[in-house]
Amino acid sequence: MSSNESLANLLKEERRFAPPEELAAAANVTAEAYEQAAADRLEFWAAQADRLTWSTKPTETLDWSNPPFAKWFADGKLNVTYNCVDRHVEAGHGDRVALHFEGEPGDARTITYAQLKDEVSRAANALTELGVTAGDRVAIYLPMIPEAVIAMLACARIGAPHSVVFGGFSADALATRIGDADARVVITADGGYRRGKPSALKPAVDEALTKPGTEGVRSVLVVRRTGQETAWAEGRDVWWHDLVPRQSDQHTPQAFDAEHPLFILYTSGTTGKPKGILHTTGGYLTQASYTHHAVFDLKPETDVFWCTADIGWVTGHSYIVYGPLSNGATQVLYEGTPDSPHQGRWWEIIQKYGVTILYTAPTAIRTYMKWGEDIPAKFDLSSLRLLGSVGEPINPEAWVWYRKHIGADRTPIVDTWWQTETGAMMISPLPGLTTTKPGSAQTPLPGIAATVIDDEGNEVPNGSGGYLVLTEPWPSMLRTIWGDDQRYLDTYWSRFENRYFAGDGAKKDEDGDIWLLGRVDDVMLVSGHNISTTEVESALVSHPKVAEAAVVGASDPTTGQAIAAFVILRGSATEDENLVEELRTHVAKQLGPIAKPKRILPVAELPKTRSGKIMRRLLRDVAENRQLGDVTTLTDSTVMDLIQSKLPAAP
């Protein structure tokens, strides 16, 4: 935000939803958790660390003697994979299903905790045979298949930090990440299934490894998934099925220091080279495990949990692999897209496996809104008892749609705010406690300290907007940016003294609940008022004909910036001139005349990252008639051509 004017507080959302009595009565976490954490935050986290099995119990909780470089549970030792797999088998749950894998072509595989233990042990032995030792980095570039989970757990088991790269990223993006982490081994597949077709992966690895900086890679371990023809580098490439199955299924996990690196995960950011976010062992697992238990109210004996995220996103790390498995959950793992072979695929999967908890992103919910509620209505979704959202602010109307058409107007929704950098959830309702408000993540979780401040660093009063900051260290916080401590300091800790700057705008409502308002870089400045993209988008989505909206501030000679909106219409709606005027009036009525978009353009698709976030920066380029910036992290780069072809000459 460039002016001293704090974010205008425009949106009024009055709907409230109390937690269902039955859920509240049996909830994993009660109001006591907030009280305990408020009384002694460190003691609270020390108690949560007890959820894990340590080979050496920590005596020290937080070492903050060299801020902002934190050490949590520093004198403790543990093995992450033992906590996620072996201990459940030892406790007699070996026959419990860990993963219900559903391939896109319809192939399915069920893996119990006992089988997972064998598979992970073999994979750990295989990596050892390839010469991987504790501390070596391993890049993982796989589709959403069980081997992705197994590979991550095998790395964690031997103390080799993994760096998972989205299966959809290009050879260049992969090469940069392999190079920055200086990986020794790459684990990949011949390909994966996308929209009914095999889509090759291995060629991108071959190309990446011709680029400078990747010379450290000694081996490429290749899973056969699609059976497609694959080029082979003798001496470097090894088939998973040649190496892994012949290994022993016995492997003794070694205990590592709580601060041993667990993984590096790259976030693209809008400028500069990707940042390698470093997470370590004990604190990360404590918070991933606790938040999964608390926010999803997980009952491992009866729940079937499904997080639809890709493993290449932090959500896949914390809420497919480490959180759920440390809690002994039964999960669905789905390889493909929501519309393959038909637009009801997700709901069919929920019906098939009796999914009880669904965790997905607003982008998916809005896509299903666009396709129409008659699609989920064809399936039996009565097993669902809890819904979650992550990745972007969820527009109140999408929230209400999600609850009504997926959750039978019965299930609570937890809107969870967090980041790659925070490692685990930070702000979220608790399903048995919180009376929820559509569009608000509401309350910092027990043990988390977050607030909203203005340009000068003063806390804003209730009813005002500003910047979201975290005011105390938390167990799963990033430890640094891999190889670049200075960038860690500059990016997160220099804007405000002693506080972590998240880069998001937020407001506090009259009750002090937090509403996320989008990235600060996206905030618009119209006639001297800071206006959040989220609020204008939510106003547009609250119109019955709009499924999804993206707004940007485009430079304007009279108002500084003017609001330009790109909208996707719902299934049955058609575009005409009246509609554009109708939408402009609708926004003005919802938020006030200051927020009325100057231009509205109906489009078929919006540019999104692989984790479903709208890339407003590219839309700003379009709105300001500029050459497009970097499009390498887009899911589908043809989307921008489509949008540009629809663009009338600038007024």
Residues that bind ligand 6R9 (CB under 6 A): 267, 313-315, 389-393, 415-420, 441, 502-504, 516, 519, 611
In three-state form (DSSP H/G/I as H, E/B as E, the rest C), the secondary structure along 448-496 is CCEEEECCCCCECCCCCEEEEEECCCCCCCCCEECCCHHHHHHHHHCCC
Task: Answer for the pair 317, 164: CB distance below 8 angstroms, yes or no.
Answer: yes
Q: Is 584 annotated as a binding residue?
A: no
Q: Is 527 annotated as a binding residue?
A: yes
Task: Answer for the pair 400, 372: CB distance below 8 angstroms, yes or no.
Answer: no
Would you state the structure tokens that stand for residue 443, as one six-digit string? Answer: 């309350």
Residue 219 or 420 with smaller CB distance to ligand 6R9: 420
Q: Determine how β-strand 219-223 pairs with β-strand 185-189.
A: parallel
Rounded-to-10 torsion of CA 448, 454, 459, 461: -120
Q: Is 451 annotated as a binding residue?
A: no
Residue 271 burial (CB count, 10 A) = 9
Q: Is 194 annotated as a binding residue?
A: yes
Residue 188 or 389 with smaller CB distance to ligand 6R9: 389
Give me the least distance between CB of 298 and ligand 6R9, in Å please. 18
Give me the least distance between CB of 519 and ligand 6R9, in Å please. 5
Residue 76 or 362 with smaller CB distance to ligand 6R9: 362
Cα 513 from Cα 554, distance rounded (Å): 31
Give me the least distance between CB of 204 and ligand 6R9, in Å please. 22
Segment (H or E) for 577: helix 577-591
Give me the least distance between CB of 415 and ligand 6R9, in Å please. 5
Give me the least distance between CB of 256 and ligand 6R9, in Å please. 25
Task: Answer for the pair 19, 432: CB distance below 8 angstroms, yes or no.
Answer: yes
Name the residue with tokens 């109001």: 31
Residue 191 or 465 with smaller CB distance to ligand 6R9: 465
Q: Is 416 annotated as a binding residue?
A: yes
Would you state the structure tokens that stand for residue 187, as one six-digit string? Answer: 């684990």
Q: Is 206 annotated as a binding residue?
A: no
In three-state form (DSSP H/G/I as H, E/B as E, the rest C), the secondary structure along 195-207 is CCEEEECHHHHHH
Residues 6+ apart with CB under 8 A from 646: 601, 602, 603
Cα 547 from Cα 611, distance rounded (Å): 19
Give me the least distance between CB of 10 and ligand 6R9, in Å please. 17
Give me the least distance between CB of 624 and ligand 6R9, in Å please. 23
CA angle 156–227–162, rounded 5-degree value: 15
Cα 310 from Cα 229, distance rounded (Å): 25
Sign of the CA dihedral running 441, 443, 446, 451: positive
Residue 74 or 552 with smaller CB distance to ligand 6R9: 552
Residue 466 or 602 with smaller CB distance to ligand 6R9: 466
Give me the least distance between CB of 285 and ligand 6R9, in Å please. 17
Task: Answer for the pair 236, 218: CB distance below 8 angstroms, yes or no.
Answer: yes
Burial of 79 (0-12, 13-18, 19+ CB in 10 A): buried
Residue 553 or 612 with smaller CB distance to ligand 6R9: 612
Residue 113 or 418 with smaller CB distance to ligand 6R9: 418
Among 234, 229, 313, which residue's Cα sits nearest to residue 277?
Answer: 313
Burial of 142 (0-12, 13-18, 19+ CB in 10 A): buried
Q: Is 541 annotated as a binding residue?
A: yes
Q: Is 224 annotated as a binding residue?
A: no
Residue 81 or 420 with smaller CB distance to ligand 6R9: 420
In three-state secondary structure terms, 118 is helix
Residue 132 or 619 with smaller CB distance to ligand 6R9: 619
Q: Is 393 annotated as a binding residue?
A: yes
Q: Is 466 annotated as a binding residue?
A: no
Q: Is 227 annotated as a binding residue?
A: no
Give me the least distance between CB of 266 and ligand 6R9, in Å please. 10
Q: Is 370 annotated as a binding residue?
A: no
Q: Is 378 annotated as a binding residue?
A: no
Instruction: State residue 46 phi and psi, 5-degree precision.
Output: -60, -40
Sign of the CA dihedral running 70, 75, 81, 85: negative
Give me the least distance between CB of 238 and ligand 6R9, in Å please. 32
- Which residues sit in the known binding site for ATP? 391-393, 415-420, 504, 519
- Residues annotated in the binding site for CoA, as ranges? 194-197, 315, 527
Binding site: which residues? 194-197, 315, 391-393, 415-420, 504, 519, 527, 541, 543, 546
